[in-house]
Amino acid sequence: MPEFNLLRIIRDLFEPAKVESAKVESAEVEPANKVKPYFHEYNTDTGDRDFKERKFPLSWTEDKIKEEAIRLRAKFIVQTSRVNEKRPGHWYIKGIGSRMSFEEIKEILDENKRLGKHTRRKTLLIEY
């Protein structure tokens, strides 16, 4: 009998343990600290071309352009109006990688709105 137990011990040492793992379904869960961005709408623009920007056609929906701006971590979105066939208007995602704060951009937009500048443009300032 002692030989039988010794063989079992040797076999158990060299064979992987048989462990049944529970099957867990993975579900995508957003972290608790992730806050959905809020969009502040203005009928003006910063008028500043120093912001890094990307241009998109007006055929994109507002929801699609918002998703892209969030993905790029942009500061704001501008929709320009159609002037003529050569200037059909576009979406611009601006402030990509900018160090300018939300408050600084908000001040510029508030001032331009007060002065009546760029009234045919729509800006969506993104607050993360």
51 part of a folded domain: yes
Range of the domain at 61: 35-127
Total structural domains within the chain: 1
pTM of the model: 0.71
Specify the pLDDT at position 6: 64
- In tens, the pLDDT along 95-126 reads 999 999 999 999 999 999 999 999 999 999 99
Read off the pLDDT of residues 4-59 as tens digits, 9 standing for 90 and up: 566 666 666 666 555 444 444 444 444 555 679 999 999 999 987 789 999 999 99
Q: Over pLDDT 90: what percentage of the chain?
A: 62
pLDDT for the residue numbered 12: 66
**Has residue 5 been placed in a domain?**
no
The C-alpha atoms of residue 37 and residue 62 are separated, in whole angstroms, by 14
